[in-house]
Amino acid sequence: MSDLLTIILAAGKGTRMKSKKNKVLHKIAGKKMINHVVDTAENIPSEVICVVGHQAESVKQAVNSKNIKFKLQSEQLGTAHAVLQAGKEIKDHRGDVLILYADIPLIKQVTLNQMLDKHHDNSADLTIMTSVLKNPTGYGRIVKNNSSQIIKIVEHKDTDEKEKSIKEINSGIMCVGSKLLNDALNNIDNNNEQEEYYLTDIVSYINEKDGRVISYQTEEPAEITGVNDRIALSKAEKTMRKRINERHMANGVTIIDPATTYIDESVEIGSDTIIYPFTYIEGDTEIGVNNMIKPHNHIINCKIGKNNIIINNNLIKNSKIGDECQIGPFAHIRPGCDLKNGVKIGDYVELKKANINAGTKVPHLAYVGDAEIGRKTNIGAGTIFANYDGVNKNKTIVGNSVFIGSNSTLVAPLTIKDNGKTGAGSVVTKDVEENTTVLGVPAREYVKKKDD
Ligand code: UD1
Ligand code: MG
């Protein structure tokens, strides 16, 4: 067993968020708050316990790790009471306990390691992560005596005027020996403004027992932002976004304006890709090297190869794009599309469940749904794949080197074989054989006459 036990508190009601959803399920850079903390905790060798309560089942389901043990706090009586739910594990544990709050999602592993190192180097019984804030409103204050020793933490609501002016705050993150923690938890009362069992009260208890209480003061207050309301949520989002953008830039991605580029934590981007302003890249998206992503693109859950140009204003979702393609402007690529290399999708084109093979072009104003299109085919301006007959969605198969004339309507189910052609304005209701041209409404085979 590891000599560190980590406890993540996630049971609170999160009232200040004014949400039907548990606070820790709100997302920051596309990832639920709880999972930011869980992922960081899992990078530190320890056994991890998560205390859940309010909407316990939803929080458990959201946690994307199999190694976490859950404890239920059925009534939310405060942070000390929450930790107490892991009482048995704390009692059985020989070593330190690291306590994290699920509403402090920006904490970095390196900072936690530094705090743990300081705790060990100083043989401390309790180390509290603190920070000095210009505006400490809402946070618990670190009260020290004349010899700079921490004597207690006072919650904002319980402060007197003098304590209110203290700028050093409690982050909530702490490391404490299991034996003292266990004793302290069993001796805390709820004699305070909120009538809650405050974890912060263990400071006074450990002091009374002559334990060694120290602080680890972080230089980066943004890391310990407590996300209690929507304002803090937006601040955390901004910090996380900056962090993510800087990671990509360090890896060789050009982000022209990080302030207007929104990339989820899960996204991967290859070097020499250039991202223009006002771009959103979300979910499970992988983008290869040397792509140009022009302004105002929104890309969600996509796999994109290399050397593509994605011109302005496209929405691309749950789809695959190969290499050397050109997309947009103003294309809507709906879920289930697979574009192979060198495909061109032009302006005002909507695609849905379309498999489009190498070198094919859909350059202007078209709807292509439930389609399989071969290589080097051209789909003329204004073409509609009429895939819906009012009851069912039907498929259209278009072969290689086909030429679909402008404003054609392809009424599915339909197959147009290799080198087939449709005349402009045709309404095609029957399959078209290889090397055959059809035209008219409804389209009929066109056979060239002598004087044509
Ligand atoms: C807490 C600290 C405060 C610190 C601040 C930092 C206490 C008493 N106060 O205040 O000193 O400055 O964090 O952000 O600890 N939770 C439970 N069960 C409960 C109550 C809360 O699991 O009964 C969980 C919440 O889900 C949350 C965390 O504990 O993840 C902190 O609770 P919260 O109510 O946000 O405490 P703060 O008022 O922010
Ligand atoms: Mg909080």
For residue 142, which ligand has an atom nearest its CA? 1
Q: Is 367 helix (H, G, I), strand (E, B) or coil?
A: strand
pLDDT of residue 2: 55
Distance 343 CA to ligand 2 centre (A): 50
Tokens 């859909």, residue located: 362
pLDDT for 212 beyond 50: yes
Transcribe 285-347 into DSSP letters. -EE-SS-EE-SS-EEES-EE-SS-EE-SS-EEES-EE-SS-EE-SS-EE-TT-EE-TT-EEEE
Kindly give the pairing relationship between strand 303-304 and strand 279-282.
unpaired
pLDDT for 213 beyond 70: yes
For residue 200, which ligand has an atom nearest its CA? 1
Its pTM stands at 0.93
Amino acid identity for residue 153 in this structure: I
DSSP 8-state assignment for residue 295: S
pLDDT of residue 232: 96
Which residue lies with its CA nearest to atom 2 of ligand 1?
Answer: 172
pLDDT for 24 beyond 80: yes
Distance 228 CA to ligand 2 centre (A): 5
Instruction: Give the position, in ligand 1's atom list, of the atom nearest the Cα of 139.
Output: 12
**Average pLDDT taken over every residue of the chain:** 96
Q: What pLDDT band is residue 449 in, cutting at 50, 70 and 90?
A: confident
pLDDT of residue 66: 87
Task: Give the residue from 232, 221, 240, 225 showing the smallest Cα distance to 18.
Answer: 232
* Ramachandran area for residue 242 (φ above 0: left; ψ -120 to 50: alpha; else beta): alpha
Q: For ligand 1, which residues put their CB under 6 angstroms from it?
A: 9-12, 51, 53, 73, 76-79, 81-82, 101-104, 139-140, 153, 155, 169-172, 198-200, 226, 228
pLDDT tens string 399-444: 999 999 999 999 999 999 999 999 999 999 999 999 999 999 999 9
User: Phi and psi dihedrals of 57, rounded to 5?
Assistant: -65, -45
Distance 155 CA to ligand 1 centre (A): 10
Distance 337 CA to ligand 2 centre (A): 43
Give me the mean pLDDT over the 85-98 stretch. Answer: 96
Distance 229 CA to ligand 2 centre (A): 9
Distance 129 CA to ligand 2 centre (A): 14
Instruction: Give the position, in ligand 1's atom list, of the atom nearest the Cα of 8.
Output: 30
pLDDT of residue 1: 41
Cis before 136? omega within 30: no
Is 81 a residue of the active site? no
Q: Which two tokens stand for residue 374?
A: 């071969």
Which residue lies with its CA nearest to atom 3 of ligand 1?
Answer: 140
Which residue lies with its CA nearest to atom 36 of ligand 1?
Answer: 79
Which residue lies with its CA nearest to atom 1 of ligand 1?
Answer: 172
Instruction: Give the position, in ligand 1's atom list, of the atom nearest the Cα of 76.
Output: 23
pLDDT tens string 229-282: 999 999 999 999 999 999 999 999 999 999 999 999 999 999 999 999 999 999
- Give strand pairing partners of 347: 364
Give me the mean pLDDT over the 125-150 stretch. Answer: 95
Which residue lies with its CA nearest to atom 22 of ligand 1?
Answer: 11
For residue 143, which ligand has an atom nearest its CA? 1
Domains plus CATH for the chain? 5-224 (3.90.550.10), 230-445 (2.160.10.10)
Give me the mean pLDDT over the 335-347 stretch. Answer: 98
For residue 188, which ligand has an atom nearest its CA? 1
Give me the mean pLDDT over the 376-386 stretch. Answer: 98
The larger pLDDT score, comparing residue 2 to residue 140, is at: 140
* Nearby residues of 104 by Cβ (< 8 Å), 6 or more positions away: 37, 171, 172, 173, 224, 225, 226, 227
pLDDT of residue 446: 93
pLDDT for 452 beyond 80: no
pLDDT for 132 beyond 60: yes
pLDDT for 165 beyond 60: yes
